[in-house]
Chain A
Amino acid sequence: EIVLTQSPATLSLSPGERATLSCRASQSVSSYLAWYQQKPGQAPRLLIYDASNRATGIPARFSGSGSGTDFTLTISSLEPEDFAVYYCQQRSNYTFGPGTKVDIK
């Protein structure tokens, strides 16, 4: 089973700063990786699919990159509504990573 590892577990930043989140797979998943945002009490929201494609309605400040085993989600300039937990998911066997919490510094 493919295992996803996310780092850091928590990222403390201020609004306007750049956020860089990492997701690493235990073996290659090609470009088959998605990123989700989840706020307390809400369902996950798809941000990025297949590594670098923004989902419908997702602001341009969110971008994804990577292939194989190493992937990155970048938020170019944090808005107040971006403080949340972010999960990656690979679609070779659909497992999720443990999440990265982005909180306000």
Chain B
Amino acid sequence: QITLKESGPTLVKPTQTLTLTCTFSGFSLSTSGVGVGWIRQPPGKALEWLALIYWDDDKRYSPSLKSRLTITKDTSKNQVVLTMTNMDPVDTATYYCAHIGSGWWGERWDYWGQGTLVTVSS
């Protein structure tokens, strides 16, 4: 059974750096074809893709946020960490991580964490 859970601060101040951790079980990030993605959703708004990392350490970033994001993995701890610098109130959102499975069948973002709400305010 695959599960993911996001953790991190619920409140950050403007200009601070946000560090979020996705802790997962039921799969390994050392398995070929596996990845983890980060997605956010401001209150009442649409989903926005942020970053992803694959089993082979291939990393992809949203072009509009690339300069502020860093994604890393710790395979031994079953964790993926996302850092976002220079936080602003417009970054207030629920942040989700998702399991990515890819192979001959295609690619599926098929398991999602419950999300964690991050508020940016002084």
Contacts and interface: CB of A to CB of B under 8 A. Distances in A.
A96 B47 contact: yes
A94 B115 contact: no
Contacts of B112: 43-45
Contact of A55 (B52, B110, B115): B110
Contact of B114 (A43, A49, A93, A97): A43
B102 to A, nearest CB: 9
Interface in A58-100: 87, 89, 91, 93-99
A67 to B, nearest CB: 13
Interface in B15-34: none
B63 to A, nearest CB: 6
B37 A94 contact: yes
B57 interface: no
A1 B64 CA distance: 10
B110 A50 contact: no
Contact of A46 (B47, B52, B64, B108): B108
Given A50-B107, A94-B37, A43 B49 contact: no
A53 B105 contact: yes
A43 B46 contact: no
A34 interface: yes
A24 B44 CA distance: 22
A77 B106 CA distance: 27
Secondary structure at the B interface, as helix, strand, loop or mixed, is: strand
Interface residues of B, number: 22
Contacts of B109: 34, 46, 49, 89
A55 B108 contact: yes
Given A94-B49, A96-B49, A56 B110 contact: yes
Contacts of A32: 106-107
A14 B114 CA distance: 29
Interface in A28-46: 32, 34, 36, 38, 43-46
B48 A96 contact: yes
Contact of B46 (A34, A50, A97): A97
